[in-house]
Structure 1
Amino acid sequence: MKLKILLCLGCFSTALLGQTSEAWVRQTDLTTGQIYDTPFTGSGGTYTAPMKVGTSGSLFELFARGTAWDSNIYLLDTKIIGTYNPQVTVSITSEDDYVRGDPAGSRFVKRTRADRPFTFNIQVQGLVADSTDISEHDVYLGVQGKNYDPANYSSLNQTQYLIEESNLENGSYTFGPLYHQLTSPTLSSGNGEQTFTVVRYASYQVPDTIIAQPKIEIWPVASASVSNITPGQVFIDRIPSLVVTFTHLYPDSRTYVQIYKGNQALGTVGKMVNGTELRFGGYYNPDQTDSSTNVPQSLTVSVDDLSNYASEDGIYTLEVVTHTPFFGRTAERLYHVTFEVDRVITSRGQISTTELSSPGTP
């Protein structure tokens, strides 16, 4: 019988877009090995197989040759049609809705924070349930990890390692909520990626073939510190310049320093210290035209005018606060310190010294 299938010619290589390229479909009979090439025109759509598809199936490969300066041959699409044709649908759910690539496809990238859970879903169909051949009965699922360079968050030249593996039959599977399994010193310091690789086992002259490979990036939990101030410190004069160090700020975040009068109380909305607000990602920069960062950020900010925010004597709390996609973008505290301002001590001391030094004072 003849069979109609859908093949995609466009959106593989920008060198091919807008050009008339030589393209063809190669049909390989998986039983006999017979090959039949057919010219293919247009930018995609329905293709009618000229050769009968047998019970073992056929492998269809869409090729195109570049034009002008580009004479390379590109493999644009591959489909296996036959009785045994495993298909998978995958998804990764995170509190962060960020995605690179097509989330409806088989290769895309999601992200989360090291201390937050995510869920991996996979639906498998097209396997032969009663077959004793593993290549027909199962697909392989391998979970790989890779730690990023802690200095630049890059995966370049980093070694991939196996976390776990299993075989899956026809059915729907949900794994989660999961926490990352990277080989980081602590859960919160996880910095890397986990890849979910689904493989069709070799059969009918077709080698092991990756049919889905989504991944999720894991970014470390942010932290902050402030120099030149200690808990409980009393300032009797101007508060010195402080240096705030931000580490691993999430690529979708708003972070700032705030101050309020009184002892620390989680959830208090204080006064934001001018010049300390940092915004990353499209959510917090809706008018930004340049591409947003997609890796964490680490930097320092100086605070030179804190005395202007503590003009009255009393107890004050300084906090570093961040907002991210997690916990509904509510404020999370990265750092806090409580200190005291008591300028009266200086004036009292001056008055007392003057009185003691005056002659004739009783």
Structure 2
Amino acid sequence: MKSTLTTLILATSMAMAAPSDYVNFVRQIQKDFEWDITVAPSGSMLSAEGIDEDGSQFLLFSVHSTLGIEYLLDDVFVSTYTPEAKLAVVTEDPYDAIPRTRVDRPFSISVNIKGMTHAAPAAGDVVLPAAAQKVLLSHKAYNYPEGVHSLEGRDNPAEIDVGTALLRGNGTTVINYATNHLTAPDLTKAEGEEVWTISALNDWGWEGEVLESKKVQIWPIADASITGIDPNKRYSNLPPINVKYNDLYPASETWVHIYPGPPVANATNFTDIPDGYWKAVDSVPESPPAKVLTGIDHLFPEEGAYTMEVVHQTPFGLDVLTQFYPIRVDRTVEFKGGLYTAE
């Protein structure tokens, strides 16, 4: 892209007369100033002045050296433009190294364009080049290979071409996405990235350059399981209970709690089980080894049925990953043997 006019190519030969019979000059007009510069019948040269931000008008004249008759041969308006772009991906996660979100969450992008040409002056019906008015926004999505949390080391990953759009003029454009464009047999477990690229358009032999590119990483929904206990049995002493977490969201916290009675929404009378806690510290999803909960009988003081839940805290809120009900606790005290009295 050019911010000043660098060359002006002339072809000024006149029909029915020799070039030596004419004096040729170019007049450059911008704002309140004019410059005249003599030019050869053909060739190229620098403009008299740089191009003003509002553009410049170039008039090519040829004057007959004997008759003094002036001919206007051409009239060109040249505008200046150096497109710049800033692109931001906005999610509900405040992590700022690489934008990220979860597969079920919305997100948006904000595109700010500046440096495009101003409108042509009113004194002429000027057609501006497309590259002076628009930039190209392209959008692609990539699924991560199974068990891999990036595209690192993959030269030609399979891409999903979401689409392209031409953005006109300067200003800010916000595009909202209610969902992502990844694919998977189970969409709750899809993971990958979406990439937006803003490019200038090709212009006068110059290949349009990439002005800005940003991506968002999209992670799957976590899940959990509770095993090792039979809902049909009553326990006076609880067996070891296995809790397994999968695809925990980066920087999340996950724990286990219990409360008496059947499952309820937003339980408040719960008791946390410390050995069930896990803090995710990686920048990608984590699936830690199973937790084995033992020695927790004292957390079930009353006889009856209890609910156990796995709770997951992320930037998107508090989610219950799984529930187990009932855990039946028997606190009946049995006495075996005879009853003796002493006389």
Q: Does 1:124 align with 2:130?
A: no
Contact kept? 1:31, 1:204, Cα under 8 Å: no
**Equivalent residue for 1:23?**
none
**Equivalent residue for 1:91?**
88
Aligned partner letter, 1:169: R
Runs of 4+ in 1 over 6 A off after TM superposition: 27-30
Q: Does 1:298 align with 2:287?
A: yes
Contact kept? 2:305, 2:326, Cα under 8 Å: yes
**Equivalent residue for 1:315?**
305
Contact kept? 1:96, 1:325, Cα under 8 Å: yes
- CA deviation profile, 1:150-181 (whole Å, cap 9, x unmatched): 31312232433311111111143111143211
Matches of 1:93 and 1:268, distance apart in 2: 32
Report the CA distance shift for 1:228/1:273 in structure 2 as closer, same or farther (over 3 A).
same
Report the CA distance shift for 1:345/1:167 in structure 2 as closer, same or farther (over 3 A).
same
Matches of 1:31 and 1:186, distance apart in 2: 57
TM-score (norm. length: structure 1): 0.64
**Equivalent residue for 1:288?**
none
**Equivalent residue for 2:319?**
332
**Equivalent residue for 2:26?**
none
Contact kept? 1:222, 1:250, Cα under 8 Å: yes
Matches of 2:48 and 2:113, distance apart in 1: 27
Aligned partner letter, 2:144: Y
| Identical positions, percent | 25
Structure 1 vs Structure 2 CA RMSD: 3.0
Matches of 1:174 and 1:144, distance apart in 2: 17
Report the CA distance shift for 1:206/1:53 in structure 2 as closer, same or farther (over 3 A).
farther
Report the CA distance shift for 1:31/1:152 in structure 2 as closer, same or farther (over 3 A).
same
- CA deviation profile, 1:317-353 (whole Å, cap 9, x unmatched): 00000111113xxx31111111142436794xx87xx
Structure with greater proportional helix content? 1
Matches of 2:5 and 2:257, distance apart in 1: 67
Gaps of 5+ in 1: 1-26, 34-50, 58-81, 101-108, 282-292, 356-362
Matches of 2:83 and 2:48, distance apart in 1: 20
Tell me the CA shift for residue 112 of structure 1.
0.8
Contact kept? 1:30, 1:204, Cα under 8 Å: no
Aligned partner letter, 2:134: D
Number of residue pairs matched by the alignment: 261
Q: Trace 1:239-254 onto structure 2 (pairs within 5 A).
A: 239-254=238-253
**Equivalent residue for 1:215?**
215
Contact kept? 2:3, 2:82, Cα under 8 Å: no
Contact kept? 1:180, 1:190, Cα under 8 Å: no
Task: For residue 132 of structure 2, give the secondary structure of its aligned residue in structure 1.
Answer: helix
- CA deviation profile, 1:224-252 (whole Å, cap 9, x unmatched): 1112235x433234222122111110112
Contact kept? 2:3, 2:51, Cα under 8 Å: no
**Equivalent residue for 1:188?**
188
Matches of 1:185 and 1:345, distance apart in 2: 49
Aligned partner letter, 1:176: N
Aligned partner letter, 1:336: Q
TM-score (norm. length: structure 2): 0.67
